[in-house]
Amino acid sequence: MLRKPGGTTVAEAVQRAETNLEGLQEAGWVQLDDGLAAMDKIFARYGDRFDGDLIAEHYGVAVRLIGLPSLCGLDALENAAHSLCDLLDRLSTTGRWDRDGVQVHIQALRLLRNLPPGADGVAEPVLDGLRKVRERHAIQSSN
Amino acid sequence: MALEATSKGRFNLEKATILMLDGNGMGMDILVQIVTGLGAKSLHRCQTVDEAKDVVKRNTIDLIIADALSPAGEGYEFVSWLRTDGGEPNAFAPVVVTAAHTPVSMVQKARDCGAHYIVKKPLTPVVMLERILWIARESRPFIECDAYVGPDRRHKNEGPPNGVPRRRDDLPPEVGDAQEPNLSQDQVDGLFSTRKVAL
């Protein structure tokens, strides 16, 4: 089917798809900010003890963020969102609670969301910090 | 080798009927913009597994792009259902599963659901197109057994791990005695050199 006459070139198709995605950016920013606000509210509800239900709820919100930062050109924020999902999944599996580790992620998300253009140099140390949190929980991820 | 975004190679998705499953509105919008940009025109958009099953029962589908629907992983269950109860020909349709994040508890389900490929989000047009083209060139046999239905999960022919029995259609490990004389060195060399042949 792919080989039928007509069609398009890879270059044209990819360019067209990328242009289409640019049209979603405005809505993407709104959903991204709503998602980050929801994460702040959930974090405010954590106590000092492991709460499996709240972590599951938090994971559900974090998973829905995936893809939005990238749509808005915020690759470092995308990595941080993945890192948070890794951490929440690990905490949920082990039953351990790491409030500081989650807090560092929430703060990183905010920082990376608000980085001014051209401030990419700030992102790497932030992501490195998140990597160290994941290493504490022996999480291997592709980020 | 990764697909080059600037490649002038041609392909045609205009006649393909594509089913897309994603419970997240923006996730679906992103997928639609990618797939229409790649040239597809006939799309079935489904927000729930029940909607997707209904589409499968009523239409012939050329390609399925189904989100895993984390965290519960219902997308994987949909693909498993497709492979066992989707009816022909849809049960054999190419399937790409997209996943924002796969929790540890879902890794085995993801591996065994019967998808051709799992693509991690964020989705990009070039990666999605690459997977579609890979599927078009697919040479893995389709496996049907009690525990699994779908494309052979082995991408490399490395043989079974130690202690695991061989499959029925694997070649026997023993090599028997030669039944014909060996080729001479000249005959072997002749296989590698071009020569005229009278047809």
Interface size A-B, in CB pairs within 8 Å, comes to 136
**pLDDT tens digits along A80-121:** 999 999 999 999 999 999 999 999 999 999 999 998 877 768
- Domain count of chain A? 1
B69, B74, B92: which is closest to B82 by C-alpha?
Answer: B92
Instruction: Report A:102-121 residues touching B (Cβ under 8 A).
Output: none
Please check the confidence at residue B145 and state whether its pLDDT lies above 60.
yes
Cβ contact A67–B30 (<8 Å): yes
- Among the partner-chain residues A2, A68, A82, the one whose CB lies closest to the CB of B26 is A68
For residue A64, the distance in angstroms to the closest alpha carbon of chain B comes to 7
- Answer yes or no: is A77 within a domain: yes
Asked if B116 and B135 touch (Cβ cutoff 8 Å), the reply is: yes
Best residue in A63, A65, A75, A84 for a mutation probing chain B (most B CBs within 10 Å)? A63
**pLDDT tens digits along A5-17:** 778 999 999 999 9
For A8, the closest chain B residue by CA position comes to B10
Task: Assess: ipTM above 0.85.
Answer: yes
Cβ contact A20–B9 (<8 Å): no
The pLDDT assigned to B153 comes to 86
Please check the confidence at residue B196 and state whether its pLDDT lies above 90.
no
Identify the CATH number of the domain in which residue A108 sits: 1.20.120.160
The pLDDT assigned to B156 comes to 67
A140 in contact with B at a CB cutoff of 8 Å? no
Q: Taking residues B161-169, what's their average pLDDT?
A: 72
A28, A27, A26, A14: which is closest to B37 by C-alpha?
Answer: A14
Q: At what angle do helices A99-113 and A25-44 cross, to 10 degrees?
A: 150
Report all structural domains of chain B as residue ranges with CATH numbers, in order of start: 17-151 (3.40.50.2300)
Please name the amino acid found at residue B140.
Answer: R
Q: Are strands B142-144 and B149-151 parallel, antiparallel or unpaired?
A: antiparallel
Please check the confidence at residue A143 and state whether its pLDDT lies above 50.
no
- Answer yes or no: is A7 within a domain: no
A57 in contact with B at a CB cutoff of 8 Å? no
Task: Indicate left, alpha or beta for B184 from its phi (over 0: left) and psi (-120 to 50: alpha).
Answer: beta
The pLDDT assigned to B126 comes to 95
Q: What is the separation, in whole angstroms, between the first and last Cα of chain A?
A: 36
The pLDDT assigned to B46 comes to 97
Using CB atoms within 10 A of its CB, is residue A59 exposed (0-12), middle (13-18) or buried (19+)? buried
Q: Taking residues B89-100, what's their average pLDDT?
A: 95
- Answer yes or no: is A10 within a domain: no
The pLDDT assigned to B95 comes to 96
Which domain, by its residues, includes A132? 26-136
**pLDDT tens digits along A22-44:** 999 999 999 999 999 999 999 99
Which residues contact residue B157 at a Cβ distance below 8 angstroms, ignoring those fewer than 6 apart? none
Task: Indicate left, alpha or beta for A6 from its phi (over 0: left) and psi (-120 to 50: alpha).
Answer: left
In angstroms, the CA B133 to CA B122 distance is 19
In angstroms, the CA B68 to CA B100 distance is 8
- Answer yes or no: is A43 within a domain: yes
Using CB atoms within 10 A of its CB, is residue B170 exposed (0-12), middle (13-18) or buried (19+)? exposed
DSSP B2: P
Cβ contact A8–B11 (<8 Å): yes
In angstroms, the CA B62 to CA B65 distance is 10
- Answer yes or no: is A1 within a domain: no
Best residue in A2, A18, A90 for a mutation probing chain B (most B CBs within 10 Å)? A2
Q: Are strands B63-67 and B42-46 parallel, antiparallel or unpaired?
A: unpaired
Average pLDDT of chain B to the nearest whole number: 89
For B6, the closest chain A residue by CA position comes to A11
Q: Regarding predicted confidence, which is higher, A122 or B93?
A: B93
- Answer yes or no: is A21 within a domain: no
The pLDDT assigned to A94 comes to 94
- Among the partner-chain residues B15, B70, B104, the one whose CB lies closest to the CB of A63 is B70
Q: Taking residues B15-34, what's their average pLDDT?
A: 96
Residues of B engaging A, defined by a Cβ cutoff of 8 Å: 3-16, 24, 26-27, 29-30, 33-39, 62, 70-71, 100-101, 103-105, 120-123, 125-126, 129, 132-133, 136
- Answer yes or no: is A20 within a domain: no
The pLDDT assigned to B23 comes to 94
The pLDDT assigned to A81 comes to 97
Q: Which residues of B touch A8 (CB under 8 A)?
A: 10-12, 38-39
Share of chain B above pLDDT 70, in %: 92
- Answer yes or no: is A141 within a domain: no
